[in-house]
Amino acid sequence: MAEVHAEYESKMKKTVEVVKSDFAAVRAGRANAGVLDKIQVEYYGTLTPIQQVANISSPDPRSLVIQPWDASLLKAIEKAIQASDLGINPQNDGKLIRLAFPQLTEERRKELTRQVQKYGEGGKVAIRNIRRDAMDRFKSMEKKGEITEDDRKDYEEDLQKLTDKYCKEIDALTAEKEKELMAV
């Protein structure tokens, strides 16, 4: 039964990792290459992450420089950034693309905070869905006679503790990201 427990714990850990990567994509006024993680560029007919076709650097805290390995990708990268929900206009100088991150307005901070809360809530819903699937599995195992009612209750209790642990972790990550966003 330990392997079943480990399987569901692993799924919950992966959910927390997804929430962390979603949070990394939310910019907090500072230049962070993580904001480009979800942006993909058409490269020889295939959608490819920007990190795989260009060098990304941060010369100062408020800007990113994207230097594609293939100069013909400049327009495609520029178009992909404009089409994304990043809210930054790229400057293309013919060799590289500069992204200047402006100071966030109070309104934009609140908007990003709502987005972070939505990501956090989505993560907690995913964890509760994992718990529901596990509970259903335990009930079917009990019906088949594979485990006793007492075993099922113990497993469900352990599962609830895991669920609470990972939901608290997501709450802490959400609060941390909100604090980062609201810091001027």
Domain residue spans of the chain:
2-24+105-182, 33-100
- Of 3.30.565.10, 3.30.1360.40, 1.10.3720.10, 3.10.180.10, which CATH number belongs to 33-100? 3.30.1360.40
CATH superfamily for domain 2-24+105-182: Ribosome-recycling factor (1.10.132.20)
Judged by average pLDDT, the poorest of 24-33, 114-123, 146-155, 159-168 is: 24-33
User: Cα separation of 99 and 36, whole Å?
Assistant: 11
Provide the mean pLDDT of the chain.
Answer: 86
| Nearest by Cα to 174 from 129, 125, 118, 128 | 118
Total Cβ atoms within 10 A of residue 130: 22
Per residue in 38-74, pLDDT (tens digit) is 888 888 888 888 888 888 888 887 788 989 888 888 8
18 has pLDDT over 70: yes
pTM of the model: 0.69
Query: For residue 11, what pLDDT is reported?
Result: 92
Local confidence band at 22 (pLDDT 50, 70, 90 cut-offs): confident
Percentage of the residues of the chain whose pLDDT score is greater than 90: 32
Distance set, CA 163 to CA 5, 23, 60, 134 (Å): 12, 20, 40, 11
Q: Do the domains 33-100 and 2-24+105-182 match in fold?
A: no
Total residue length of the chain = 184
